[in-house]
């Protein structure tokens, strides 16, 4: 098939608004608040507008918090890579792992281990990606407040969406995921 025969090829830019193209659209208007905040420099973790400093001041349900410790807490990622994508954050506003106290790193490690056990029990995941992006240059979306990602993975979770369409298919709403993980969390923490 030539470009002249292909109905998905735009040949006339003047009338292109009514001519279909080869792209599928996944409409996510709720993401505009996140995009606008980024343009304005808000929500990047500066102490006066840090989402990880603000979250513990809210209810667990509103902040998507699943567990609170003495020095750190666990919450769902608002923009998850997979269902059950958790973040472990110290309460203290500190940007880098080597600036965290021994108590903060100890508790972050303990909360990470508990999170793995809980996620295995409630979501039956097969493995995890665990990591920290330190600084904006390393990909940290909120670079000014230390946080560790815990991303559950399943042997059967590979599909074409992330590779071809740069889209993640989320099979569970955040509120439901928060409830399952929080309900599965041991009460002694």
- List residues with catalytic annotation: 147
Give how far Cα 184 sits from Cα of 78, 84, 90, 100, Å.
20, 12, 21, 28
Q: What are the angstrom distances between the C-alpha of 61 and each of 12, 58, 120? A: 51, 8, 22
Q: Computed from CA positions of residues 5, 9, 13, 16, in that sequence, does the dihedral angle turn out positive or negative?
A: positive
Instruction: Give dist(CA 80, CA 60) in Å, integer.
Output: 18
């Amino acid at each position: 098939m030539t470009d002249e025969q292909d109905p998905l090829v735009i040949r006339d830019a003047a009338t292109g608004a009514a001519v279909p193209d080869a792209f599928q659209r996944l409409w996510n208007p709720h993401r505009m608040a996140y995009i606008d905040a980024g343009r304005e420099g808000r929500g990047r973790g500066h102490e006066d507008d840090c989402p990880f400093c603000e979250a513990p001041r809210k209810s667990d349900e509103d902040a998507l918090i699943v567990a609170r410790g003495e020095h750190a807490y666990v919450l769902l990622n608002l923009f998850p890579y997979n269902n059950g994508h958790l973040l472990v954050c110290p309460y203290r506003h500190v940007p880098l792992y080597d600036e965290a106290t021994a108590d903060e790193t100890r508790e972050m490690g303990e909360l990470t281990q508990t999170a793995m056990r809980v996620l295995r029990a409630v979501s039956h995941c097969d493995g995890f990606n665990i990591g920290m992006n330190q600084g904006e240059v390393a990909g940290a979306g909120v670079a000014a407040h230390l946080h560790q990602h815990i991303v559950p993975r399943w042997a059967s979770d590979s599909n074409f969406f992330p590779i071809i369409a740069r889209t993640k298919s989320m099979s569970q709403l955040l509120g439901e995921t928060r409830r399952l993980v929080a309900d599965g969390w041991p009460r002694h923490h």
